[in-house]
């Protein structure tokens, strides 16, 4: 088995570290938390969405039986983020709406958070 020369490995490693000019480098920044996204909302602007994907094998009967419990869990999660955002942004008011979406790929519960003031 032939081994590569050390200088060849160095050239390959160096080439891998240098991206092409039109290739965007991935950022090392962490994605913003949902509370940060809520705090950054504009009054009357687009809402922030938190999505809960449900088991794709869940039947419609199971979904209707568990919908209120799952909606409450999602609302509590969104409310926690709203409470954190209220502490960051003085005199802010938010509304939370929970809706469900059924697609071919499954059922989703969505919490939409809007800033009202």
Residues 8-25 pLDDT 10s: 556 655 555 666 667 666
Which residues is 107 bridged to in the sheet?
102
pTM of the entire structure? 0.70
Q: Is the pLDDT of residue 29 over 70?
A: no
Predicted local confidence at residue 19, as pLDDT: 62
Give the single-character DSSP code of 46. P
Predicted local confidence at residue 41, as pLDDT: 94
Using a pLDDT cut of 70, give the percent of the chain over it: 74
Q: How many helices (H) and strands (E) does the chain have?
A: 3, 3
pLDDT digits (tens, 9 = 90+) for 56-70: 888 888 989 999 999
């Amino acid at each position: 088995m032939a081994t590569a020369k050390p200088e060849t490995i160095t050239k390959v490693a160096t080439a891998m570290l240098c991206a092409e000019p039109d290739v965007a480098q991935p950022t090392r920044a962490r994605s913003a938390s949902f509370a940060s996204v809520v705090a950054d909302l504009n009054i009357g602007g687009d809402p922030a969405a938190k999505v809960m994907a449900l088991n794709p094998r869940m039947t419609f009967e199971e979904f209707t039986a568990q919908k209120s419990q799952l909606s409450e869990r999602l609302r509590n999660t969104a409310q926690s983020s709203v409470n954190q955002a209220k502490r960051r942004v003085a005199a802010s008011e938010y509304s939370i709406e929970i809706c469900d979406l059924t697609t071919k790929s499954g059922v989703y519960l969505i919490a939409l958070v809007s800033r009202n003031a």
